[in-house]
Homo-oligomer: A and B are copies of this chain.
């Protein structure tokens, strides 16, 4: 331990090292509740690539595990410390190095906040679409590590689709550059994509070339109320089958709607069983919304309310964005699931989730990126009640089993981390896990990078 600190100090300014146990303890975990976390030996906050290389060389020399962190807004424990590790926080490497409107790229350091980048590129008439709910605080490096999604994905895809190239410090401190600054490129295996979603287990991302898009018109939304989740899911299928390309297609169940109203007095309709939000950022969004409104009515919507203007649309989005936070206020504890199914199975997923809630006698509120079939069932429980906690865990698992049975995945966008590592093997199977381990061994033969995550 003394040796570790001494060696780290040799290549880092004093302000880059945190060793006070009260301070380092605050870096022990991300936003996932109930995931195991160890105590870091030290927290390092580098400002340069060379400093990151020094940390990794030191860690390799001393065989000390390293856990990379962004803003720790993750929901699966992927950034949780392991016992005695070096926490490597990239938040101070937060420069936007380039925004190029002709090449439509940005070159950034990993600690840049998603919203800061978004606003910076907006000034050039560009947009960086990936928008996880935590976009005001989460970092691009964290988004890359967890392959974040967001509300925009139904039209604009996920983080992975915007990462063109990376600078990565490997476990042994060597610097690897992957990918490209070009629109296309197929030179060798796609290492860039391999790092996206790897949860810091293959290397430390210290720089990224990101693709940008022209800024679309501001979106216009509508809200449709339904008497059942099944009817809302039917509407989702009709909208997608008809060939629409909404910029947002979100679902909040009755529990979620009431939780949002209780928290923020949003004035959403209290009696609805499912609220569907749909938006378009096309050249004529009102026309697109009118067509979607008819499809909602045909699917059984009890009311269809187009937003008056973009401000009212933004208010609806805000309501959706605060869904998880609002559901967390219902009980002393929550477990947030992230099952994604083919959208044709969304109705079955929601019905099955309701049945699981009833079976275990729990409240499970669901909000969903409905257009992607990506549901976030939030299991609410009293963590001081041992039996209720057990039922919560079992229902959480049963929701994943339900999703896999419907041809889905255990995680659409939150990642595996600590929370779902037992489940990864169930989804991928023996052959898949063996190959994943083979890749891990090729990149990190000593197993020092974020150990105990994913597998």
Contact = CB atoms under 8 A, between A and B. Distances in A.
Interface of A: 100-105, 125-126, 146-147, 149, 153-154, 157-158, 160-161, 170, 174-178, 180-191, 193-194, 196-198, 202, 214-215, 237, 240-241, 243-245, 282-284, 340-344, 369, 371-374, 407-416, 420, 424, 427-429, 431-433, 435-436, 438-443, 454
Contacts of A343: 102-103, 183
A429 to B, nearest CB: 7
B103 A174 contact: no
Contacts of A176: 431-432, 435
A454 to B, nearest CB: 6
A385 B178 CA distance: 40
A356 B215 CA distance: 39
B102 A240 contact: yes
Contact of A283 (B147, B243, B284, B416): B284
A182 B373 contact: yes
5 A-B pairs closest in CB distance: A438-B442, A214-B243, A183-B372, A185-B409, A193-B193
Given A214-B244, A442-B438, A190 B187 contact: no
B416 A188 contact: yes
A180 B427 CA distance: 10
A195 to B, nearest CB: 9
B412 A184 contact: yes
Contacts of A183: 153-154, 340, 343, 371-374, 412
Contacts of A241: 101-102
Contacts of A410: 187
A424 B435 CA distance: 24
A374 B340 contact: no
Contacts of A161: 157, 161
30 contacts: A101-B240, A101-B241, A103-B343, A125-B243, A149-B184, A160-B190, A174-B431, A176-B435, A177-B432, A180-B409, A182-B340, A182-B372, A183-B373, A183-B412, A184-B412, A184-B413, A186-B413, A187-B409, A187-B416, A187-B420, A188-B454, A189-B194, A189-B440, A193-B194, A214-B244, A215-B243, A283-B284, A435-B442, A438-B443, A439-B439
Nearest to A341: B182
Contacts of A126: 243
Given A184-B413, A188-B197, 6 more contacts: A101-B240, A102-B342, A161-B161, A182-B373, A183-B371, A185-B340
A206 to B, nearest CB: 14
B175 A431 contact: yes
A180 to B, nearest CB: 5
Contact of A409 (B182, B191, B342, B429): B182
Contacts of A237: 102
Given A102-B237, A344-B103, A147 B186 contact: yes
A235 to B, nearest CB: 12
Contact of A181 (B154, B284, B407): B407
